[in-house]
A and B are shown apart, each in its own frame.
Chain A
Amino acid sequence: MSNNLQKKKIDSATILSAVIVLAVYALVFLAEQTLPATSMLFTVLKKGATYALVAVSMNLLNGFTGLFSLGQAGFMLIGAYVYGIFTIPVMSRMDVYQYYNGGLVQFTLPVFVAMLLAGLAAAFFAFLIGLPVLRLKSDYLAIATLGFAEIIRALFQWDKLGPITNGSNMLRLFPTFNDFNIRGADGQVTVYLSTLMPLLISGVCIGVIILLINSTFGRALRAMKDDEIAAEAMGIRLASHKRLAFCISSFFAGVGGAMLAMYQNTVQAKSFTTAMTYEILLIVVIGGLGSVTGSCISSFLFVACSEWWLRFLDQKQVLGGFEVPLLRNGFRLVVFSIIIMIVVLFFRQGIMGTKELPDLIRGWQGRGKRQAKGVRSK
């Protein structure tokens, strides 16, 4: 906390963090041009980028503001649908909305405009739902937002809204991450961007969130988390700050929803269950409530483990003629849940606690200096 109160100045640790992030982007770009596009690495990076954004947006509420919200899946659903509805090419609409005569919307927006709109729509719904529920205390708020997500899920499946939402049928044929690849005249991909773009989009969004967290507004949110009554006494308007934090978080959850739609190639309301919110919450907890870096790292770890590294647990493995017992479909998830429970029970700080990447580097630098001094004094 103490470094928050000091005058902001850009120190070497911050610069080094920026360099690390840029280096990661450069590496991803290079990897994408050289490795085959079907590599699991890219799947993990794409989904990880999506989850990272949603996790950070949830962390903004649960970790920084102390509002325990479980409506993330609902806001993602809104984002995913708004994106899908406005980007399906007009000529494909007849195929997608086959039961609704081509649907009501008969125009197409550019991808980035639609993503922005996805965020704004989610934020608008957040504003509406925030009016009654944000007055509630911790667990009541959790259950009310959770209920809201369920209402949204039912609403989007309602047959009467079919001309817009396609009812309980899926939306498809809209632009996906693969459409970011630059193709030559012959249709061959010349520059692969399908992994870099989602990472960039989510990076920019997370960057905005970090700026917010380090602003006066962000400090007000932290004050509210520590003690609402004290914060109010210091002149922070609780209601408006909570509402704004809730809307901002939902905005980014909406953008994340749009990204999830692009990742999945299809959108269907029934997949946005409370289980999805729980999953994101667990990501946030593993990373550390109150650490943006932690949320990002744990998103990629979570996705990598569930989609890639722990896959072997789901298949029969034979080691030296001995068949390892217990391994069959679903075992991966059991191992996974046990790891999560261990983190929740014994490592409540998560991976990062409330530290960020620059803090870590400062720690290393400090240790290095101390060691150097120790050597000299001898």
Chain B
Amino acid sequence: MWNTVFPYLLSGISVGGQYALIAIGYTMVYGILRLINFAHGDVFMVAGIVMVYMAASGLPLGICIPLVLVITALIGFVIERVAYKPLRTAPRMSAMISAIGVSYTLQNLVLYITGGLNQIYPTIPWISSSVTIFGATTKMVTLVTPVLTLILVVALVWLINHTKIGMAMRAVSRDFETSQLMGIKINRVISTTFVIGTFLAGVASLLYFTNYTTVIQTSGAMPGLKAFVAAVVGGIGSIPGAVVGAFIIGIAENIIKGLDIILFRLGVIKGPMGLATFSDAFTFALLIIILAVKPTGLFGEKITDKV
């Protein structure tokens, strides 16, 4: 039993960590701007593409990796300035539509550059090597991801709770206008939020694509949506919530992928049920259940609407 479940659990934890890093970007942006940044998943994909082209240009990986992270953060910064800043006073729907437009643009741009073909992700030594743990063979990245995720999350929480910019972020997410009146430079805070969010998405792309090995213009859409669901399940605006939500979704998704085999070994079912089809759908079912039962998510704060 354990031998059957363990590999799925392991890859679930790994994918969960990657979703967590993406989900933080969603949850931070939502906390401050009340905007679902639909383009976030595509920024994650673009980070993968940038890495492919960097590595192909012959730069050593030691330079590539930090450069990719910087470029990704820069892309996040530019997107906010170009596509979201002009709409800050517009109705929320406009900003969300703009986000969808950015997502469409990024996907088409990558389609144009790559010609719509699968790009092979460069192999990053050490984290792509195989290891065997408790009888399950996996890539090193599976073990590295949760550790790295936790380190980054702890660092981020420290940043938010103990630095000046972190304090500004908390103030802005609490009350946009008042914090502006208190002399907080709102544009700088928002830009920092985007830079941090996209930087983490860049890290996630390094880990995720090392595992999946190919990048195509649509490969950001699904992880992006799932990470967003993770942020909602955990309670949007809450960083620990996003991390917990991401691990729940990552693990559940991978268990479902192997549910046929697991149930078969347990003797519950006789033949294959094709349940793996639902590994993506489960995420969204969870979303609808959470929204129906506890709309603020596991760790979210209660918001009351004022007339």
Contacts and interface: CB of A to CB of B under 8 A. Distances in A.
Interface of A: 62, 68, 129, 132-133, 135-140, 142-144, 146-148, 150-151, 153-155, 157-160, 229, 273-275, 278-279, 281-282, 285, 289, 328-331, 333-334, 336-338, 340-341, 344-345, 348
Q: Which of B92, B93, B229: most chain A Cβ within 10 A?
A: B93
A195 B221 CA distance: 35
Given A139-B92, A148-B284, A158 B292 contact: no
A150 B100 contact: no
B264 interface: no
What's the dominant secondary structure at chain A's contact region? helix
Contacts of B281: 150-151, 153-155
A330 B112 contact: yes
Contacts of A229: 307
A133 B278 contact: no
A347 to B, nearest CB: 12
B96 A139 contact: yes
Nearest to A155: B281
A151 B282 CA distance: 8
Contact of B102 (A143, A158, A274, A341): A341
Q: Which 4 A-B pairs have the closest CB atoms?
A: A147-B284, A159-B274, A154-B281, A330-B112
A140 B102 CA distance: 20
B105 A345 contact: no
Contacts of B285: 147, 151
Q: Quick one: which of B103, B105, B307 has the most chain A CB within 10 A? A: B105
B101 interface: yes
A345 B86 contact: yes
Contacts of B179: none
Contact of B101 (A138, A282, A330): A282
Contacts of A135: 292, 295
A328 B116 CA distance: 12
Interface of B: 34, 36, 82-83, 86-87, 90, 92-94, 96-98, 100-105, 107-109, 111-112, 115-116, 218, 221, 225, 228-229, 232, 272-274, 277-278, 280-281, 283-285, 287-288, 291-292, 295, 305, 307
B158 to A, nearest CB: 29
B291 A142 contact: no
A341 B94 CA distance: 11
28 contacts: A133-B292, A135-B292, A136-B295, A138-B93, A139-B36, A139-B96, A140-B295, A143-B229, A147-B285, A151-B284, A158-B277, A158-B278, A274-B221, A282-B97, A282-B101, A289-B93, A328-B112, A329-B112, A329-B115, A329-B116, A330-B115, A330-B116, A333-B108, A333-B111, A334-B109, A334-B112, A341-B101, A345-B83
A337 B104 contact: yes
A159 B277 contact: yes
Contacts of A344: 94, 97-98, 101
Contacts of A146: 225, 284
B287 to A, nearest CB: 5
A147 B36 CA distance: 14
B92 A150 contact: no
A137 B232 CA distance: 13
A148 B288 contact: yes
Contact of B111 (A132, A137, A278, A330): A330
A337 B109 contact: yes
Nearest to A132: B292
A340 B104 contact: yes
A147 B288 contact: yes
Contacts of A285: 97
A129 B225 CA distance: 19
Most A CB atoms within 10 A — which of B82, B228, B278, B284? Answer: B284
A50 to B, nearest CB: 20
Given A132-B291, A150-B281, A150-B284, A143 B105 contact: no
Kindly name the residue among B93, B97, B98, B272 whose own CB sees the greatest number of chain A CB atoms within 10 A. Answer: B97
Nearest to A230: B307
Contact of A142 (B96, B108, B272, B307): B96
Nearest to B112: A330
Nearest to B287: A147
Greatest chain B CB density within 10 A among A137, A138, A147 is at A147
B100 A282 contact: yes
A333 B108 CA distance: 6
Nearest to B114: A330
Contacts of A136: 291, 295
A68 B285 CA distance: 19
A337 B108 contact: yes
B226 to A, nearest CB: 10
Contact of A278 (B100, B229, B272, B307): B100
Contacts of A336: 108
A334 B273 CA distance: 42
A329 B113 CA distance: 9
Contacts of A338: 105
Nearest to B96: A139
Q: Identify which of B87, B221, B288 gathers the most chain A CB atoms within 10 Å of its CB.
A: B288
A160 B274 contact: yes
Given A140-B291, A337-B109, 15 more contacts: A137-B305, A139-B36, A139-B92, A143-B229, A148-B288, A159-B277, A274-B225, A328-B115, A330-B116, A333-B112, A336-B108, A337-B101, A337-B108, A345-B82, A348-B94
